[in-house]
Amino acid sequence: MIYVVEMDVNIPESWSEDKLADYIKREQETSQKWQKSGKWVYLWRVAGKYSNISVIDAESPDELHQIISSLPLFPYMNIKVTSVCKHPNAIRETMI
Ligand SMILES: O=C(O)C[C@H]1C=CC(=O)O1
């Protein structure tokens, strides 16, 4: 199943630079692990916002939740998930 996921990140103002750098480093390691697995297919920055739009190819809603909630910044995100399927007029055979 293909999911389009928008993640808005809200970093608490009280965090030190060191704490933020630690989270960002672990966030990178985790998201790149999923990207290398092939399940996290696209990761784009939303221009002008601390947000991303991602395309995740997960087997089920449970697996999607496992992927997203493994991110260290997960507790600090507002997340919108849209499940998509092939459009009947799409000329490409594959969705991704
Ligand atoms: O920076 C972000 O958008 C948050 C986060 C989600 C994936 C990733 O690598 O970082």
* Predicted interface score ipTM higher than 0.95: yes
Average pLDDT, rounded, for the chain: 97
State the DSSP H helix or E strand holding residue 7, giving kind and residue range, or none if neither.
strand 2-9
Task: Report the pLDDT value the prediction gives residue 57, as an integer from 0 to 100.
Answer: 98
* 76 Cβ neighbours under 8 A, 6+ residues apart: 9, 10, 11, 12
Distances (CA, A) of 59 to 18, 42, 83: 36, 16, 12
User: Domains in the chain: how many in total?
Assistant: 1
Mutate which of 20, 36, 52 to test ligand 1's pocket (most atoms within 8 Å of Cβ)? 52
Supply the pTM of this predicted model: 0.95
Q: Return the residue whose CA atom lies nearest to atom 10 of ligand 1.
A: 27
Q: Which range of residues forms the domain containing residue 11?
A: 2-84
